[in-house]
Structure 1
Amino acid sequence: MPERRPISPVVPSPDALGGLRPLGLGEVTITGGLLAERQRASARNGIPAGRRELETSGVLDNFRRAAGAQGLVPRGPRFADSDAYKWLEAAAWESRRSGHPVGDQSRIGSLVAAAQHADGYLDTMTDDAYADLTWSHEHYVAGHLIQAAIAQHRAGGADELLPVAVRLADHLGERFGPGRDERLDGHPEVETALVELYRETGRRRYLDLARWMVDSRGSGRITFHEFESSYFCDRVPVRDQESIEGHAVRAVYLAAGATDVAVETGDTVLLDVLRSQFTAMWASRTYLTGGIGARWEQEAFGDAFELPSDRAYAETCAAIGLVQWAWRLFLATGEASYGDAIERVLYNAVLSGVSASGDRYLYVNPLELRSGALAHDGRSPANGRRAWFDCACCPPNVMRLLASAAAYLAAADESGLWLVGYASSTVDTGWGHVRIDTDHPHGGGVRAVVTGGGVDEWTLRLRVPGWASGVEVEAPGRRVSVADGWALVEGAWHEGDAVDLSWSVAPRLIAADSRLDAARAAVAVEVGPLVQAFEEIDNPGLEECFVLPGARPRLDGTHPDGSARVRLDGVRRPASGAEWPYREIAAAGDPGARPVGEAVGLTSVPYHAWGERAVGPMRVWLPVDQVFSG
């Protein structure tokens, strides 16, 4: 297969573990469906609005001040520079995706360059470099600058940032490391950026610095007032952890960087540890939506199965970091389960964080909003979707992921093409040109059609979703096998050849592990990869509604966006109003036992679409009725 350099956020070197090469922007073009709609909305509304917020929030003034402008004072959180860098990364990917320049990249890039110190240091929020590394986020911010610079360079547009990023990375390498300043930043992120800079430049010193940072975590050196070491991913060495812990965003960013280090250094032991950590997290510390972070306190993972619905933190940034980590693990292993994880997280925990209009956001993504919930915090979903936040990490993070989403859908190796995620798209690879026709995530399958020549003999792998039932593969004249989450289709390919992978679109009733107290005696509904949410606007008196035992979800038409409308039989039982909220009940098996209350049909929307019409009560987990009259 002819070798091409992907235009992608993640480009493992040719010698990296795994042998899978991601297909980037230009090779994969999303042409229709939900992802295309969200990309267009972000480009039309989100990215321009983000540019305006950089001005009004003072972020760009901070750079002007650092570049010598008089009469300005720093504004915003300590890591405010990263808002500009994530926006610049999003603008670079979007310019490449759409083929239309996103304005002001060069102007802002030049402003960033003007703010850099002569020794390479760059951070506008402090005049005392690295004095408070525990909490200053200076390395974290540097990581986002490096990623923005790489995006610009790979996308082929504005390219002012790469020299700036190289000088800053060299400054970090001269200042930090064994025998030098051995402190660590309180917020991991720079590790994965340094590895990517190594991949882009071939300079081994960046990989070595990242490896030292990963291996230095876990000494318990970092604390901050009431926050313990786990908050900073510094309680246990990465290689000794059984499951990742602490601040959810920090944890998955570190895990992604450690995975990059493992694959580039050939460290199979470290890779196996990280795979085990992912498995443990997925089995006991992840919400049905794919969201992570059970505690508002310290924005952290909780204990195993500590997954409260209404107090879920499930920050949008954490979901984005989880997509990034899972993608790296997929490239290293080729395991379909990581594709399943990316799909669940992307369509539920990430897309819930941004409105269909592309410019309104949720910072926190709970699985329940109670009636009368207080918007006690600017991040609370009780505020509804918001245009920006004081801590604005999530909006530009969403922008950069959506703009680069095509780079998380497909990969290639020496045997052929791997289709990992599904969207209507075109795939241009050395093996040939392929068109993907699908209405995923709403529909029941995907068709791959060869539209142009390449190499005659190759293998097409299509991920068989782990949730799918009734799976069928049609590939006339081809050798077909289904194993380990993949449908393998082998043979000689010619223009017009097609493969159809189909599955059932029937809604599924979901129950939680009995150790998950918050969802015990409750059920949820999924359709395809989409978790469903039940809102007050469709189900008056939602908090008084219960699912009937034995009820099964059924399709009841579609919503205007094409998603399935699901109905579930239940009862509405008004609250008693008693002074004591507990009472004796009849057992379900008692003679003559029957549900108490008014029969209702409960209607869902996809979880990612909740809160679009009104701010009000919402549930993913519905309690099953256990109160009967005798």
Structure 2
Amino acid sequence: MTFVVDFSRSRGAVLRPVAVAAVTLAGRFWGPRLQRNVAVTLPTQYDLLESTGRLNNFRRVTGRYDGPYAGIFFNDSDVYKWIEAASWAQAAGPVPALQERIDAAIALIEAAQGDDGYINTWFSLERRHERWSNLRDLHEMYCGGHLIQAAVAHHRVTGSTRLLTVARRFADLLCEVFGPAGEGKRVMVDGHEEIEMALIELARETGEPRYLKQAEFFIHARGHGLLHGGRMGLDYFQDDVPIRAMTCLCGHAVRALYMACGITDLALEREDAALLDRLGSLWTQLTRRRMYISGGMGARYEGEALGKDFELPNARAYTETCAAIGSMMWNHRMLAATGDARHADLLEWSLYNGMLPGWGLDGRHYFYVNPLEDDGTHHRQAWYDVACCPPNVARTVAGLPGCVYSTSAEAIWVHLFIEGTARIPLGERTVQLAQRTQYPWDGSVAIEVGTAGSFTLHVRVPGWCDGGASLAVNGRAVLQAVEAGAYAAISRDWQAGDVVQLTLPMPVQCWQSHPRVHENAGRIALTRGPLLYCVEALDHPGADIEDLSIDTQAAFESRFEPDTLGGVVTLRGTARIVPRDAAWDDALYRRVQPGKPDVPPGGDTVEVVAIPYFAWQNRGASPMAVWLPRA
């Protein structure tokens, strides 16, 4: 089955996955994006893997290319992530042009693997005697983890064991070399987490328990200072505190989130309630102290790190696209472990406001970092020397159908609202569902049940919808009260053609920060439905967006504009232009003068236009801000 993550037999899972191949996404929003991923994003990424030498790195191992190694020591991982993405993209049916390129890449990988199962093109030739010599910094297991995930995806979609055989040989080597000292093995972990969740997924796919045992070893060996943190410190590598004693996620954001994914996988397989409780505490601390309003993670350029509590600068926000994806991956797992709607809420919020900004509307340009304020100098790029984000975006989009639904005993759970159809195995039957919706632009969601039978339908009511949500079946209300941030359960003997109507009001909402987030003092942010909004200067000619003061009591008009940014809902309201320099006589500091305001009163009233944050910087260079001064 084409499960993105296979919880189907996990002892600790509350929810079971639905295969990518069982769900077809369509509609005005996601339909074109999935098509663009196949037609534009994946082909151009493969061309860049070729032109930047990443594929030649494999050829040179076998003598088919005599040039130098190209790029950074972890470049193999970009090839593996691309294969994973291209595999998921074919879950609904073969795409010959993609499969041809997958086959070519796999042939290179097979040929580059050593006799003992080792594979890493940075070390395979002139540095072959240095392998495993610097696990803290050089990402050998990280690259191997992405190899394994690619192999599992390829096997699930195509049935081919070619890449899976390569991955198993590498995993077998890890099991031989690393483990408890009492078994005569090397006690060490990798500096960049990834191998942990990959090995667990390999165990799920193959039924081989030693891969799970190996992942468990790596997870519990972490936190004991094995990596000797160096300049960055042990907390950068999450190697300062044992897993069960952790009170917060610290250090490099992507590493921390990938670690959390692996730990959650372990808790699911071992049915470890104490470990799951620890993960819940870490999730709460992270989301209440170190997460941007976009769902982005990572406040610091230095170390691509999470930063301290309430350290959430806007223009200097790092919020790597891969970190948003890591958050989605973790919340997908926590949702399976708990059935708690808050994890589906954050998965969705991170999808639209954390990951999606990293992918240009043309399908071929990407953000690595995602600031919440910019002076017009930040641009998407076609590729990066460190190119982890582009193929990560591609595999996330390709695997999205596998995140829309789950099942439990005699129940189907609806997590995401995306137009399309699904054929969902439930017990001995297959239930057909169809969603009709213009979400995220409109909060009307119709879910048609195409198969008769008795079961429960759990429909998520998002936490952002804090009033007015309603549910009806065939036009008749079924629940007196619909709670936001929870699943509404409808149990009945369904008839083919029954329609569940979910109505989610989408007023414009104004948000403020905790007062300890100093940069946002006196500022507000705008949201509507599952989308965060921002203001770009190009919509406000002649005005400095820093001088726009928003009246939180004023009404905003939501307007769908089909010719703007591929078709988006814009927000239009009024703001006052308050020139913040006028009262300061070109001074940087002044003595406090009682009765004299910091900024002049009054100011002209102008129209303010806000666009979805995911769509910014798609019309050329322009200053942008999410947090705006409050009138």
Shorter chain as denominator, the TM-score bin is: over 0.9
User: Scaled by the length of structure 2, what TM-score is found?
Assistant: 0.93
Report deviation, 1:420.
0.5
In structure 1, the residue matched to 2:331 is 326
1:141, 1:250 → 2: CA distance? 13
Mapping for residues 358-373 of structure 1, pairs under 5 Å: 358-370=363-375, 373=377
AA paired with 1:391? V
Report deviation, 1:257.
0.4
2:21, 2:250 → 1: CA distance? 37
- Structure 2 residue corresponding to 1:564, chosen from 564, 569, 576: 569
In structure 1, the residue matched to 2:587 is 580
Mapping for residues 461-610 of structure 1, pairs under 5 Å: 461-468=458-465, 469-476=467-474, 480=479, 482-483=482-483, 485-540=486-541, 541-560=543-562, 561-574=566-579, 575-576=581-582, 578-582=585-589, 595-610=601-616
2:544, 2:535 → 1: CA distance? 8
| Pair 1:611-2:617 in alignment | yes
Report deviation, 1:223.
3.7
Report deviation, 1:9.
1.8
In structure 1, the residue matched to 2:270 is 265
AA paired with 2:535? F
Report deviation, 1:543.
3.6
The more displaced of 426-435 and 53-62 is: 426-435
2:288, 2:627 → 1: CA distance? 18
In structure 2, the residue matched to 1:3 is none
In structure 2, the residue matched to 1:376 is none
Q: Is the 8 A contact 1:92 1:157 kept in 2?
A: no
Q: Give unmatched runs, 5+ long, in structure 1.
A: 1-5, 374-381, 626-630
2:234, 2:347 → 1: CA distance? 29
- Structure 1 residue corresponding to 2:152, chosen from 143, 150, 153: 150
Q: Secondary structure at the match of 1:452?
A: coil
2:451, 2:168 → 1: CA distance? 40
Q: Is the 8 A contact 2:510 2:552 kept in 1?
A: no
- The Cα RMSD (Å) is 2.0
AA paired with 1:64? R
| Pair 1:351-2:351 in alignment | no
1:342, 1:588 → 2: CA distance? 46
Q: Is the 8 A contact 2:56 2:65 kept in 1?
A: no
- Structure 2 residue corresponding to 1:215, chosen from 220, 238, 261: 220
The more displaced of 397-406 and 70-79 is: 70-79
Q: Is the 8 A contact 1:32 1:425 kept in 2?
A: yes
1:220, 1:417 → 2: CA distance? 44
Report deviation, 1:226.
1.6
Q: Secondary structure at the match of 2:215?
A: helix
Q: Is the 8 A contact 1:314 1:366 kept in 2?
A: yes
Change (3 A) 1:223 1:610: farther
AA paired with 2:587? W
How far does the alpha carbon of each residue in 1:555-581 deviate from its partner, in whole angstroms, 9 at most, with x for none? Answer: 142232443221232222343384313
Q: Is the 8 A contact 1:551 1:569 kept in 2?
A: no
1:573, 1:158 → 2: CA distance? 64
In structure 2, the residue matched to 1:298 is 303
Report deviation, 1:224.
5.0
In structure 2, the residue matched to 1:279 is 284
1:217, 1:203 → 2: CA distance? 23
| Pair 1:76-2:74 in alignment | no
Q: Is the 8 A contact 1:514 1:520 kept in 2?
A: yes
Report deviation, 1:157.
5.8
AA paired with 2:490? V
Q: Secondary structure at the match of 1:449?
A: strand
2:596, 2:402 → 1: CA distance? 52
- Structure 2 residue corresponding to 1:393, chosen from 379, 383, 388: 388
1:353, 1:550 → 2: CA distance? 29
In structure 2, the residue matched to 1:29 is 24
Report deviation, 1:529.
0.6
1:443, 1:588 → 2: CA distance? 45
AA paired with 1:437? R
Change (3 A) 1:446 1:71: same
Report deviation, 1:68.
3.0
Report deviation, 1:69.
3.0
In structure 2, the residue matched to 1:175 is 177
Report deviation, 1:545.
2.1
Q: Give unmatched runs, 5+ long, in structure 2.
A: none
Q: Is the 8 A contact 1:479 1:490 kept in 2?
A: no
How far does the alpha carbon of each residue in 1:171-212 deviate from its partner, in whole angstroms, 9 at most, with x for none? Answer: 010011112111111100010000000000111100011111
In structure 1, the residue matched to 2:457 is 460
Change (3 A) 1:70 1:609: closer
Report deviation, 1:479.
5.3
The more displaced of 580-589 and 316-325 is: 580-589
2:287, 2:572 → 1: CA distance? 29
How far does the alpha carbon of each residue in 1:400-438 deviate from its partner, in whole angstroms, 9 at most, with x for none? Answer: 010111111110111211000110011211341010111
In structure 2, the residue matched to 1:448 is 447
1:307, 1:264 → 2: CA distance? 35
Q: Is the 8 A contact 1:8 1:23 kept in 2?
A: yes
2:324, 2:148 → 1: CA distance? 21
| Pair 1:117-2:114 in alignment | yes
How far does the alpha carbon of each residue in 1:447-471 deviate from its partner, in whole angstroms, 9 at most, with x for none? Answer: 1001234xx1100011000011310
Q: Secondary structure at the match of 1:460?
A: strand
Identity %: 37
AA paired with 1:459? T
State how many pairs are aligned: 606
AA paired with 2:304? E
How far does the alpha carbon of each residue in 1:443-501 deviate from its partner, in whole angstroms, 9 at most, with x for none? Answer: 01211001234xx1100011000011310111247854745611111101111101111
1:554, 1:159 → 2: CA distance? 55
Report deviation, 1:598.
2.1
- Structure 2 residue corresponding to 1:52, chosen from 43, 47, 50: 47
In structure 2, the residue matched to 1:206 is 211
Q: Is the 8 A contact 2:459 2:489 kept in 1?
A: yes
1:9, 1:546 → 2: CA distance? 44
In structure 2, the residue matched to 1:405 is 400
Report deviation, 1:523.
0.3
Change (3 A) 1:157 1:597: farther
2:317, 2:16 → 1: CA distance? 35
Report deviation, 1:164.
0.3
AA paired with 2:588? P
The more displaced of 422-431 and 574-583 is: 574-583
Report deviation, 1:549.
4.2
AA paired with 2:621? V
Report deviation, 1:505.
1.8
Report deviation, 1:273.
0.3
How far does the alpha carbon of each residue in 1:232-291 deviate from its partner, in whole angstroms, 9 at most, with x for none? Answer: 111111111112110000000000000001110111111110111011101111000000
Change (3 A) 1:572 1:478: closer
Change (3 A) 1:144 1:595: same
1:405, 1:393 → 2: CA distance? 18
2:309, 2:438 → 1: CA distance? 36
1:76, 1:83 → 2: CA distance? 11
Report deviation, 1:615.
1.6
1:122, 1:482 → 2: CA distance? 53
2:353, 2:594 → 1: CA distance? 38
Q: Is the 8 A contact 2:552 2:630 kept in 1?
A: no
